[in-house]
Amino acid sequence: MSAPEEGLLTIDELSAAVGMTVRNTRYYASLGLVPAPERRGRVAYYGDVHRARLEMVRALQDHGFTLQAIERYVARLPADATVEDLALQRAMLTSWTAEPPEPITAQQLEQRAGRALGEPEIEQLVALGALERDGAAYVAMPHLRVGVDLLDLDIPPESVGAAGDAIRRHMESLADELTVILREQVLAPYRREAHEPEDAERLERTVGRLRQLTLEAVVAGFQRAANAVITRSLAR
């Protein structure tokens, strides 16, 4: 049997490259989330597009997509999508949080909280967006700890809820506007020019770093705005 071309991977190598188990890789392949491999004798080999597709699946998982939602999303991708196309898609999908949402049981939720939680407290965590219900279990959001800490403050729940609504409303508006800027002023001009796959990977890393800097800028901007409000209040 002839040696595989440079860049082709066995399923073990592909799984290791994207940080998945071989079992999960085979399962996702069986669902059609990656194209059929190139077979040489009894051995299946996978290329850059297979890896890019699996990395897309991983990005969607980290963003909290269910398997059914991932299947629908991947089904809409063009069959001839290149590594560069997929890298640009991931650049827009990569989660802004270091930790993805995590399914947990009721017992694990109380372990996270460090105490027993009554139904009113759970409802408040759900209202704050720190927790989601999943049947008899839950899905912990990355900021669950913030929500639990808010429960311990001597503040009426309706006040906490109102503050949460205000934050969510303004942050969604800001996220929408920043996403439009990223899509139209960064990614669109990039798409209009010819690039190598390595350029797309570099752009993906750049967008990731841009996310970190944007979060820091949002915090700094809020601090400046809050200080300005205090100054105006004292001047009245």
Residues 6+ positions from 96 with CB-CB distance below 8 Å: 211, 215
114 torsion bin: left (phi>0), alpha (psi -120 to 50), beta (else): left
Region class of 222: left (phi > 0), else alpha (psi between -120 and 50), else beta: alpha
- Least-confidence region, from 27-31, 62-66, 137-141, 151-155: 62-66
Q: Identify the pLDDT of residue 173.
A: 92
The yes-or-no verdict on residue 9 having pLDDT over 50 is yes
Percent of the chain residues past pLDDT 90, beyond the cut: 25
Pairing of strands 131-134, 137-140: antiparallel
* Residue 134 · residue 103 · CB < 8 Å: yes
Domain boundaries, the chain: 11-81, 102-235
As a whole number of angstroms, the distance between CA 13 and CA 20 comes to 10
Element spanning 104, H or E: strand 102-104
Higher pLDDT, residue 171 or 190: 171
Q: What percent of the chain has pLDDT over 70?
A: 95
The pTM of the full predicted model, rounded to 2 decimals, is 0.60
If we measure between CA atoms, which residue out of 163, 162, 157 comes closest to residue 120? 157
Residue 188 has pLDDT above 90, yes or no: no
Classified as helix, coil or strand, 128 is: coil
- For the cut 80, the answer to whether the pLDDT of residue 97 exceeds it is no
Long-range contacts of 7-15 (CB under 8 A, 24+ apart): 7/47, 7/48, 8/38, 8/45, 8/46, 8/47, 9/45, 9/46, 9/47, 9/50, 9/51, 10/43, 10/44, 10/45, 10/46, 11/37, 11/44, 11/46, 13/46, 14/46, 14/50, 14/51, 14/54
Position 57 pLDDT exceeds 60: yes
Q: CATH fold of 11-81, please? A: Multidrug-efflux Transporter Regulator; Chain: A; Domain 2 (1.10.1660)
Distance CA 32, CA 17 (A): 19
Which phi and psi (to 5°) does residue 133 adopt?
Answer: -85, 145
The C-alpha atoms of residue 58 and residue 134 are separated, in whole angstroms, by 21
DSSP letter at 46 equals: B
